[in-house]
Amino acid sequence: MRLDHIAIAAQTLEEGVAWAEARLGVAMGPGGRHARYGTHNRLLGLAEGLYLEVIAPEPGAPSDGPRWFGLDEFTGPPRLANWICAADPFTPWLRHGMRAVPMQRGDLRWDMGVPEDGRLPMGGAFPTVLHWHSDSPPGQALLASGCALSRLTVQHPDAEGIAAELAGALTDPRIGFVTGPAMLTAQISTPNGLVTL
């Protein structure tokens, strides 16, 4: 298992992009639409094959059931809401209510772990898992932005249990687990210094 990307959720894509750009000091790149869930996104390439996503419901777009990433219930200002890991093998990591959902956006093809109710696994504390079927997923294809993930902190009342469940499979030293109220925090090195999301 490896960290693939981190996601900022927002009520509107415009609000989420403005929030991210104001903090990072760099412009978000293009993204696309997810017809199955009625969402759209913008992406930013980070160092070492990672990327940052801003995702929100697309106005007027229908959804095939509850929207993923918990977006049907999302309120408040934009915030870091999800971390997504590529898992191989994929099926054993479909845990905490996730089921495999085939996805497509343009030339991209992948399987995504999505609970039936659309909510995030353990409120976003357990990683959403995916498996790419494309030779050039966004982490490899996006242009460098000058930004890099320095630290991702997963805070949750059962942080020790989550860390134990992922032990041996996820060995990224940038990811840490802290006991406390559920929230995600990312420290990102930018051309203007270290920024916390």
Q: Has residue 194 been placed in a domain?
A: no
Per the structure, the complete domain to which residue 37 belongs is given by 2-143
Tokens found for residue 182? 């559920």
What pLDDT shows up at residue 113? 97
Q: Has residue 103 been placed in a domain?
A: yes
Tokens found for residue 169? 């499979």
Q: CA 87, CA 176: separation in Å to the nearest integer?
A: 18
What pLDDT shows up at residue 155? 98
CATH number at residue 30: 3.10.180.10
Q: Has residue 20 been placed in a domain?
A: yes
The answer to whether the beta carbons of residues 52 and 32 sit under 8 Å apart is: no
What pLDDT shows up at residue 136? 87
Total number of domains constituting the chain? 1
- What b/e readout covers 159-181, taking b as 16+ CB neighbours within 10 angstroms? beebbebbeeebeeeebebeeee
Q: Has residue 83 been placed in a domain?
A: yes
What pLDDT shows up at residue 135? 85
Q: Has residue 29 been placed in a domain?
A: yes
pLDDT band at 107 (very low <50, low <70, confident <90, very high): confident
Q: Has residue 132 been placed in a domain?
A: yes
Q: Has residue 171 been placed in a domain?
A: no
Residue 119 has pLDDT above 90, yes or no: yes
Strand spans (E) along 120-172: 128-132, 148-156
Q: Residue 103: name the closest of 93, 112, 91, 94 by CA.
A: 112
Q: Write phi, then psi, for 77 (nearest 5 degrees).
A: -70, 165
Q: Has residue 27 been placed in a domain?
A: yes
Residue 92 has pLDDT above 90, yes or no: yes
What pLDDT shows up at residue 132? 97
Read off the pLDDT of residues 16-52 as tens digits, 9 standing for 90 and up: 999 999 999 999 999 999 999 999 999 999 999 999 9
What pLDDT shows up at residue 181? 96
pLDDT above 70 as % of the chain: 100
Read off the pLDDT of residues 1-19 as tens digits, 9 standing for 90 and up: 999 999 999 999 999 999 9
pLDDT band at 105 (very low <50, low <70, confident <90, very high): confident
